[in-house]
Amino acid sequence: MSAPRIGVSGVLRTWDGADRTGVNSAYVRSVLTAGGVPVILSPLIGPSFASRALDGLDGFLLTGGEDMHPAWYGAEPSPHLYPPSRERDLFELAAFAAARQRGLPILGICRGIQLVNVAMGGTLYQDLPSERPGPVAHDPGGDRQARSHAVRLVEGSRVASALGAANLSVNSFHHQAVERLAEGLVATGWSEDGLIEAVETPPDAPWLLAVQWHPEEMNADARAPDRGLFRALVEAAGARQADGVAIGEAAGA
């Protein structure tokens, strides 16, 4: 059995006068460290080929980035909305739907938790400072590895098991977040102001876990519990791969 292949959703950026597509290297390093093979999926693939792009993959990682357009959850744009990428929204929504249909294990990070919630019928706060001001700074600025606020997790949940802890101080840089939780998702983590920070599917549903902070930025610290999220994804992908091999062997017996 080979190392699980993990699709990693990418971005479009203009850099040095050229349009480029790729992904923050921290996601690639995190998947590699966890024992997976990262495969970058560009939004340029488009929704028509999103399902084909998942061929041969064992898991799917939805990364951080732009705001989602509020039209996807039936809201008018806030004046505080950061420019969304329709191209990325369309590709990732289609890829997420295809991954769910195939039963691929899915890990969502920051924008990823938001996309999962919207795709499954939930809504978002478009801008926390103006819509839900509170005592926790969810976008405090500063170093991307700086742990800025605490998160409380449900003991025995998928996320707590992956992290090996029920309480964690996390790095945070986002201004959108889950508002109304989608049916089919269970909230398993909250910040001190009650904002949802982690969601997952029930134990009897296909493996899905999503968090609002940025665990990929902790990849260089061998002691960081955040690395456990990527190990959990790769392990779930490996288990699915093994099941597929076992089924294939049984069919050929």
Q: Is 69 a catalytic residue?
A: no
What is the C-alpha to C-alpha distance for residues 2 and 109, in angstroms, rounded to an integer? 25
Q: Is 183 a catalytic residue?
A: no
Contact indicator for 203, 187 with CB cutoff of 8 Å: no
Which of these is catalytic: 92, 197, 200, 216?
A: 216
Tens place of pLDDT for every residue, the chain, 253 residues?
Answer: 799 999 999 999 988 889 999 999 999 999 999 999 999 999 999 999 999 999 999 999 999 999 999 999 999 999 999 999 999 999 999 999 999 999 999 999 999 999 999 999 999 999 999 999 999 999 998 899 999 999 999 999 999 999 999 999 999 999 999 999 999 999 999 999 999 999 999 999 999 999 999 999 999 999 999 999 999 999 999 999 988 754 443 444 4
* Residue in 186, 188, 113, 191 with CA at minimum distance from that of residue 151: 191
Strand partners, 240: none
Q: Is 110 a catalytic residue?
A: yes
Contact indicator for 160, 105 with CB cutoff of 8 Å: no
* pLDDT score recorded for residue 186: 98
> What's this model's pTM, rounded to 2 decimal places?
0.95
Which of these is catalytic: 69, 110, 175, 217?
A: 110
* pLDDT score recorded for residue 249: 39
What is the C-alpha to C-alpha distance for residues 96 and 100, in angstroms, rounded to an integer? 6
**Given 3.30.56.10, 3.30.390.50, 3.20.20.10, 3.40.50.880, which CATH number is that of 5-252?**
3.40.50.880
Which of these is catalytic: 175, 214, 217, 235?
A: 214
Query: 3-state secondary structure string, 160-225?
Result: HHHHCCCEEEECCCCCCEECCCCCCCEEEEEECCCCEEEEECCCCCCCEEEECCCHHHHCCCCCCC
**Domain boundaries along the sequence of the chain:** 5-252
What is the C-alpha to C-alpha distance for residues 146 and 193, in angstroms, rounded to an integer? 19
